[in-house]
């Protein structure tokens, strides 16, 4: 019954959601207020058998990455999230340059709608600063890690926003097994229930949050948290909604891009 009610609430929120497009063609969707369980729910683990040398309990717990624990409830206030990752054209319109590795020569087609990559966290912050100035506002920003996961799960409690069936990932994400080792134009796969594209693949996305080894420990300010799968992820589990990764703030990699949020 709880799952049914949650589904009804999500559908109702989507029907009433407000889309808008900004001056450089970035499309945003209103993400409704709500609460969700962040991280991954640990399995029910058996106690160690005192008559064996095995560590059944610890082995069971280790099936969940420690940085996805503890599984905890988070409340999110409504905000706007970009429907797609920032594209090369959008980045160029604001920054006057295109640092991406995957351009026409490598792709064999116009790369304007592919996600920009090889951008550091500092580059993403500078993009935000300039876009705010262009539009006379201060509301554009990187999403927090909590906002990102809430948006990715879109009211679900499954591994991916579409469920737990790995074979369905091909319909929603560009990742190692279907990407051809390159990025792809945004919004070519199916969106999640909030209408967001490429949350499980194409490029990893910077967030505004510093990385924590577990959710109840202090953050490491040297690293920023990244979310979402990437074109070079061959392990499907690494594209799950709750998966986290981290990089130095000045890292520029061909599998890292970003997506914007906007305060209401």
Average pLDDT (188-215) is 97
**d(C-alpha 9, C-alpha 155), whole Å:** 9
Assigned domain for 99 exists: yes
At 102, which CATH number? Answer: 3.90.1580.10
pLDDT in tens, 110-127: 999 999 999 999 999 999
Report whether pLDDT(36) > 70: yes
Residue 106's domain comprises: 2-34+72-262
Assigned domain for 218 exists: yes
Report whether pLDDT(152) > 90: yes
pLDDT band for 3, please (50, 70, 90 cuts). Answer: very low
pLDDT band for 75, please (50, 70, 90 cuts). Answer: very high
Assigned domain for 47 exists: no
Assigned domain for 188 exists: yes
Q: Do 128 and 141 form a contact (C-beta atoms < 8 A)? A: yes
Assigned domain for 58 exists: no
Domain count, the chain: 1
More confident residue, 11 or 251: 251
Report whether pLDDT(27) > 60: yes
pTM of structure = 0.89
Assigned domain for 39 exists: no
Assigned domain for 48 exists: no
Assigned domain for 242 exists: yes
Three-state SS string across the chain, please? Answer: CHHHHHHHHHHHHHHCCCCEECCCCCEEEEECCEEEEECCCCCCCCCCCCCCCCCHHHHHHCCCCHHHCCCEEEEECCEEEECCCCEHHHHHHHHCCCCCCCCHHHHCCCCCCCECCCCCHHHHHHHHHHHHHHHCCCCEECCCHHHHHHHHHCCCCCCECCECCHHHHHHCCCCCCCCCCCCCCCCCCCCCCCCCCCCCCCCEEEEEEEECCCCCCCCEEEEEEEECCCCCCCCHHHHCCCCEEEEECCCCCCCEEECCEECC
């Amino acid at each position: 019954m709880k799952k049914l009610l949650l589904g009804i609430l999500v559908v109702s929120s989507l029907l009433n959601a407000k889309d808008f497009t900004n001056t450089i063609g970035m499309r945003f969707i209103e993400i409704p207020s709500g609460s969700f369980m962040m991280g991954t729910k640990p399995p029910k683990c058996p106690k160690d058998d005192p008559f064996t040398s095995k560590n059944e309990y610890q082995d069971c717990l280790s099936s969940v990455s420690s940085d996805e624990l503890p599984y905890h409830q988070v409340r999110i206030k409504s905000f706007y999230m970009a429907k797609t990752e920032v594209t090369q054209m959008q980045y160029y319109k604001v920054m006057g340059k295109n640092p991406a590795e995957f351009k026409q020569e490598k792709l064999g087609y116009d790369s304007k709608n592919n996600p920009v990559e090889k951008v550091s966290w500092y580059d993403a912050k500078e993009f935000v600063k300039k876009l705010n100035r262009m539009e006379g506002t201060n509301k554009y920003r990187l999403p927090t890690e909590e906002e990102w996961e809430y948006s990715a799960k879109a009211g679900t409690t499954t591994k991916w926003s579409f469920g737990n069936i790995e074979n369905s990932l091909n319909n929603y994400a560009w990742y190692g097994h279907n990407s051809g080792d390159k990025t792809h134009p945004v919004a070519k796969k199916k969106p999640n229930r909030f209408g967001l594209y490429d949350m499980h693949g194409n490029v990893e996305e910077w967030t505004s949050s510093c990385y924590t080894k577990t959710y109840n420990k202090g953050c490491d300010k040297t690293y920023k948290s990244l979310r979402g799968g990437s074109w070079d992820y061959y392990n499907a589990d690494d594209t799950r909604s709750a998966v986290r990764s981290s990089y130095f703030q000045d890292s520029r990699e061909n599998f890292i891009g970003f997506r914007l949020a906007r305060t209401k």
